[in-house]
Chain A
Amino acid sequence: DVKVTQSSRYLVKRTGEKVFLECVQDMDHENMFWYRQDPGLGLRLIYFSYDVKMKEKGDIPEGYSVSREKKERFSLILESASTNQTSMYLCASATTGVGNTIYFGEGSWLTVV
Chain B
Amino acid sequence: AQKVTQAQTEISVVEKEDVTLDCVYETRDTTYYLFWYKQPPSGELVFLIRRNSFDEQNEISGRYSWNFQKSTSSFNFTITASQVVDSAVYFCALKGGMRFGAGTRLTVKP
Instruction: Give the interface of A toward B (CB within 8 A).
Output: 33, 35, 40-45, 48, 58, 88, 90, 92, 98-107
Q: Which residues of B contact A106 (CB under 8 A)?
A: 42-44
Contact A90 B98 (CB under 8 A): no
Q: Which of B78-110 contact A (CB under 8 A)?
A: 91, 93, 95-96, 98-103
Using CB atoms, name the residue of chain A closest to B47: A101
Specify which chain A residues have a CB less than 8 angstroms from the CB of B64 in the assembled complex. Answer: none
Report the separation of the CA atoms of residues A77 and B42 in the bound assembly, to the nearest whole angstrom.
Answer: 24
Give the distance in Å from the alpha carbon of A98 to the alpha carbon of B95 in the complex.
6
Q: Which residues of chain A have C-beta atoms less than 8 A from B52's C-beta?
A: 99
Residues of B near A104 (CB, < 8 A) are 37, 44-45
A-B contact sample (15 more), CB < 8 A, given A41-B102, A107-B44: A40-B102, A42-B6, A42-B102, A43-B103, A45-B98, A58-B98, A90-B45, A98-B31, A98-B32, A98-B95, A98-B96, A99-B33, A101-B35, A102-B35, A104-B37
Contacting residues, chain A, for B50 (C-beta < 8 A): 99, 101
Chain B: which residue is nearest A45 at the CB level?
A: B98
Residues of B within 8 A of A (CB): 6, 9, 31-33, 35, 37, 42-45, 47, 50, 52, 91, 93, 95-96, 98-103
- In the complex, A107→B43 CA distance in Å? 7
Taking a contact as CB atoms under 8 Å apart, the answer to whether B43 and A42 are in contact is: no
Residue of B50, B91, B100 with highest tally of chain A CB at under 10 A: B100
Q: Which 6 A-B pairs have the closest CB atoms?
A: A42-B102, A104-B45, A43-B100, A99-B33, A107-B43, A106-B44
18 A-B residue pairs with Cβ-Cβ distance under 8 Å, sorted by A, are A35-B100, A42-B91, A42-B101, A43-B100, A44-B100, A58-B98, A98-B33, A99-B52, A101-B35, A101-B47, A101-B50, A102-B35, A102-B47, A103-B47, A104-B37, A104-B44, A106-B43, A106-B44
A72 to chain B, nearest CB (A): 19
Given the complex of chains A and B, what is the CA–CA distance between A111 and B80 in angstroms? 38
Which A residues touch B101, using CB under 8 A? 42
Cβ contact within 8 Å between B9 and A40: yes
* Chain B residue nearest in CB terms to A44: B100
